Amino acid sequence: MARKTARLIDRLQAAEWKPSPKTDADEQCEFLYQPQGWAKAHRFLALGYARKEEDEKPEQYQLFDTPEYIYRVLVTDMDNPLDLLVWFYNQRAGAENLIKEANNDAGLTAHPSHRWAMNANWFQIAMLAYNLNCRLQLFHREENATVETLKHTTLATARLRFLFIAARIWRHAGRTCIRYSDHYQEKDLFQRLMERLRRIAPGPDGFAPVIHTPLCA
């Protein structure tokens, strides 16, 4: 991803822009450009998003803007068509976000030892925690959710919603119950999640589904 400089902005505005029907941008262009301090010129790919009066914050986290457009600029050494390269870098950006979450929330970077075997075991534990959180999302989803509408919930958010919650355990007449705080907004969702988890049990043909509607694309 290219850094925002005055020279790069001037180069963008002077470039030959064309419609971008195969990407999510309004316009696209590409050009050779050699930033100050670089040994040679490189291929720059640029996407332009026309500003709207009430423009929401873009999903891509490394964009920069001008009064007229929001720009996304990529630097590459590959010769593929622009739309294919945009797709390729989109996939890598998504993977980087997942790696960042694993590092910060699952403790992937907290290497406990100087020995490879110990750190390999720690890596497996961190990935297990991450995958269990992904499985948790499937258990508390809405019945009519699809692959497109199901949103990712980070480990940090899941902890606040389902683990670090204010509650009190009380026992009376042989019963053990949990009373949640009146300020816990996820009570209904948490209760539905717990009911589904309790229904997990092996049957004659294996484990039966706890959600009647399968997750479809």
DSSP per residue, 118-179: HHHHHHHHHHHHHHHHHHHHHHSS-TT-BTTTPPP--HHHHHHHHTS--EEEEEETTEEEEE
Measured CA to CA, the distance from residue 204 to residue 15 in angstroms comes to 67
- Any domain includes 199: yes
- Could you tell me if 206 and 142 lie in one domain? yes
The residue from 87, 120, 137 where one domain ends is: 87
The larger pLDDT score, comparing residue 76 to residue 133, is at 76
Which residue has better confidence, 52 or 180? 180
* 8 Å CB contact between 76 and 43: yes
| 98 occurs within a structural domain | no
Is residue 94 in some structural domain? Answer: no
Q: Rounded mean pLDDT of 130-135?
A: 85
For the entire predicted model, the pTM comes to 0.52
Number of domains in the chain: 2
**Domain boundary at 87, 122, 145, which?**
87
At residue 60, the pLDDT reads: 44
Amino acid at 45: L
Kindly indicate the confidence band of residue 42, based on its pLDDT and cuts at 50, 70 and 90: very high
Task: Please write the tens of the pLDDT for every residue from 17-28.
Answer: 999 999 989 999
Q: Is residue 180 part of a domain?
A: yes
Q: Same structural domain for residues 49 and 132?
A: no
pLDDT digits (tens, 9 = 90+) for 94-122: 777 778 888 888 888 877 788 889 888 98
| Secondary structure (DSSP) of 56-98 | PPPSSSS-EE-SSEEEEEEEE---S-HHHHHHHHHHHHHHHHH
Flag whether 96 is in a domain.
no
pLDDT digits (tens, 9 = 90+) for 155-164: 888 888 888 8
pLDDT band at 3 (very low <50, low <70, confident <90, very high): low
Whole-number Cα distances in Å, 198 to 14, 62, 88, 145, 180: 63, 43, 42, 21, 19
Instruction: Look at residue 1 and tell me if it is in a domain.
Output: no
| Structural domain for 18, as ranges | 6-87
Assigned token pair, 48: 């332009």
Residue 214 within a domain: yes
Of the candidates 87, 122, 143, which is a domain's last residue? 87
Alpha-carbon span 44 to 31, nearest angstrom: 5
Statement to judge: residues 80 and 122 lie in one domain: no
Query: CA 19 to CA 26: how far, in whole Å?
Result: 6
- Asked whether residue 28 falls in the same domain as residue 126, the answer is no
Q: Mean per-residue pLDDT for 79-102? A: 84
Which pair of tokens denotes residue 33?
A: 């450009």
Predicted local confidence at residue 30, as pLDDT? 95
Tell whether 120 and 64 lie within a shared domain.
no
User: Using the 8-state DSSP alphabet, how is residue 216 labeled?
Assistant: B
101 part of a folded domain: no
83 and 110 part of one domain: no
